[in-house]
Structure 1
Amino acid sequence: MCNRLFSGLLFLCLSFHVLAQTEVRVGVLKFGTVNWEIDVIKHHKLDEKYQFKLKVTSLASKNASAVALQSDAVDIILSDWFWVNRQRFEHKDYTLFPTSRATGGLYIAPSSGMVSLNDLTGKTVGIAGGAVDKNWLLLQAYSQSKYQLDLKAAVDPVFAAPPLLNRLMMRGDLASTINFWHYGARLKAAGYKPLVTVPEMLAELGVDAQIPLLGWVFSQRWANENPRVIEGFLQASLEAKRILFSSDLEWQRISALVKAENPAVFAALKADYRAGLLGQFGEKELAGSKHVFTILAKQGGSTLVGKATTLSEGTFWKTNLLADSFNAKVAQ
Structure 2
Amino acid sequence: MSRPHVLLLASALALGGSASAQKSISVGLQAGGTLSWVTYAIARYGIDRQLGFTLNATTYASKDATRVALRSGAAQVVVDDFIEVTLLRQKGFPVSAVYPFSLLAGGVVVPDGSPVRTVADLRGKTLGATSLTDKTLLILRAYTRATAGFDVQDASKVVSVSSPLMEQFMNRGEIQAGIPFWHHSARMVSGGKFRQLVSSADLLKGLGLPQNVPLLYIVARTDTDPATLGLFLKAVRLAENRMKTDDAYWPAMLAENLYVLPDRSQLPALRTQWAAGLPNRWTAADLNATLLLTRKMIAVAGPEVVGLTRLDTRAFTTTYQP
TM-score (norm 1): 0.86
- Aligned residue in 2 for 1:66: 67
The CA deviation at 1:175 is 0.3
1:200 corresponds, among 195, 202, 212, to 202
Does the CA contact (< 8 Å) of 2:294 and 2:310 recur in 1? no
Counterpart residue number, 1:281: 282
Deviation at 1:157, TM superposition (A): 0.9
Amino acid in structure 1 at the alignment position of 2:227: R
- Paired AA for residue 236 in structure 1: A
d(CA) in 2 for partners of 1:16, 1:87: 36
Alignment RMSD (CA, Å): 2.2
Which whole-Å CA distance do the structure 1 matches of 2:271 and 2:157 have between them? 32
Partner residue of 2:127 out of 125, 128, 136: 125
Q: What is the one-letter code of the residue matched to 2:212?
A: Q
Conserved? CA contact 2:27–2:55, under 8 Å: yes
- Cα deviation, 1:214-268, whole Å, max 9, x if unaligned, reads 1211112x13xx1111011111111111111222232233232443222331111
TM-superposed deviation, 1:40: 0.7
Confirm or deny: 8 A CA contact 2:284 2:318 kept in the other structure: no
Provide Cα deviations, 1:50-81, integer angstroms capped at 9, x if missing partner: 22221111111111111111111211111111
Aligned partner of 2:28 in structure 1 is 27
The alignment status of 1:219 with 2:218, answered yes or no, reads: no
In structure 2, the CA distance between the partners of 1:99 and 1:307, relative to structure 1 (3 Å rule), is closer
Give the corresponding residue for 2:4.
Answer: none
- Among all aligned residue pairs of Structure 1 and Structure 2, give the percentage whose two residues are the same amino acid: 26
Structure 2, unaligned runs of 5 or more? 1-12
Give the 3 Å change call, closer, same or farther, for CA 18–228 of structure 1 in structure 2.
farther
Partner of 1:245: 244
Q: CA deviation at 1:131?
A: 1.0
Q: Is the 8 A contact 1:19 1:229 kept in 2?
A: no
Q: Distance in 1 between matches of 2:181 and 2:216?
A: 12
Aligned counterpart for 2:20 among listed residues 18, 21, 36: 18
1:38, distance to aligned residue in structure 2 (A)? 1.6
Q: Report the alpha carbon displacement of residue 121 of structure 1 after superposing the two structures with TM.
A: 2.0
Code of the aligned partner of 2:230: E
Q: What is the rounded CA distance, in whole Å, between the counterparts of 1:15 and 1:218 in structure 2?
A: 27
CA distance in 2, matches of 1:285, 1:265: 31
Instruction: Tell me which amino acid in the other structure corresponds to 1:179.
Output: P
- Residues 102 and 278 in structure 2, CA contact (< 8 A), matched pair in contact too: yes
Structure 1 gap ranges (5+): 1-10, 322-332
Contact 1:86 1:308 in 2 (8 A): no
Residue of structure 2 equivalent to 1:93 = 94
Q: Choose 28-37 or 62-71, whichever is displaced more.
A: 28-37
Q: Distance in 1 between matches of 2:284 and 2:157?
A: 39
Per-residue deviation, 1:209: 4.7
Match of 1:113 in 2: 115
- The answer to whether the 8 Å contact 1:88/1:312 transfers is no
Superimposed CA distance per residue, residues 161-180 of structure 1 (whole angstroms, 9 cap, x where no aligned partner): 21122321233321000011
- Quote how far apart the aligned CAs of 1:287 are: 2.0
What does residue 39 of structure 1 align with? 40
Counterpart of 1:212, as a letter, is P
Deviation, structure 1 residue 110: 1.0
* Contact persistence 1:82–1:304 (CA under 8 A): no
Deviates more, 1:161-170 or 1:310-319: 310-319
2:266 counterpart letter in structure 1: V
**What is residue 329 of structure 1 aligned with on the other side?**
none
- Residues 293 and 311 in structure 1, CA contact (< 8 A), matched pair in contact too: no
- CA distance in 2 between partners of 1:218 and 1:304 (Å): 26
User: Aligned-pair distance for 1:93?
Assistant: 2.8
Secondary structure of the 1:78 match is strand
Q: Contact 2:37–2:253 at 8 Å: present in 1 too?
A: yes
- Residue in structure 2 matched with residue 6 of structure 1 by the alignment: none
Distance 1:86 1:71, change over 3 A: same
SS of the residue corresponding to residue 142 of structure 1 reads helix
Paired residues of 2:83 and 2:308 also in contact (CA < 8 A): no
Amino acid paired to 1:75: Q
Counterpart CA distance in 2 for 1:110 and 1:250 is: 32
**For 1:182, what is the secondary structure of its paired residue?**
helix
Paired position in structure 1 for 2:8: none
Q: Note if contact 1:94-1:218 (Cα within 8 Å) is conserved in structure 2.
A: yes
Give the C-alpha shift of residue 302 in structure 1.
Answer: 2.9
Q: CA deviation at 1:36?
A: 1.5
Deviation at 1:95, TM superposition (A): 1.1
